[in-house]
Amino acid sequence: MIVGRVAGELTSTINHPFFDGRTLLIVDRETPDGEPTGDYLVAVDTVGAGRGQRVLVLDEGNGARQIVGCSTAPLRSVVVGIVDALG
């Protein structure tokens, strides 16, 4: 799993029906010290994370599908926690 910060949302009209009503977050990857690594990923929110919050992201398809309760979801990355502290 990796840590990142929510940078915004992705809006998409034409897409797979699974994404209807789901929030797709842009998450900038960060080091444990909070420095951006320059990399990012797009993850489905499951904890109500908002812009600027530090989050824990699971980047693995089978686990991601378990979280959303849908074994056929076209999904790889999910925000699974909001980070309070690191250290």
Q: How far is the CB of 51 from its own copies (least distance, A)?
A: 9
Q: Would you count residue 34 as binding its own copies (CB under 8 A)?
A: no
Q: Would you count residue 50 as binding its own copies (CB under 8 A)?
A: no
Q: Vertex 50, ends 49 and 52: CA angle to 5°?
A: 115
Q: How far apart (Å, rounded) are the C-alpha atoms in residues 87 and 72?
A: 37
Q: How far apart (Å, rounded) are the C-alpha atoms in residues 74 and 19?
A: 9
Give the footprint of its own copies on this chain (CB under 8 A): 1-3, 7-16, 19, 24, 26, 28, 31-32, 40-43, 46-48, 56, 58-67, 71-78, 80-87
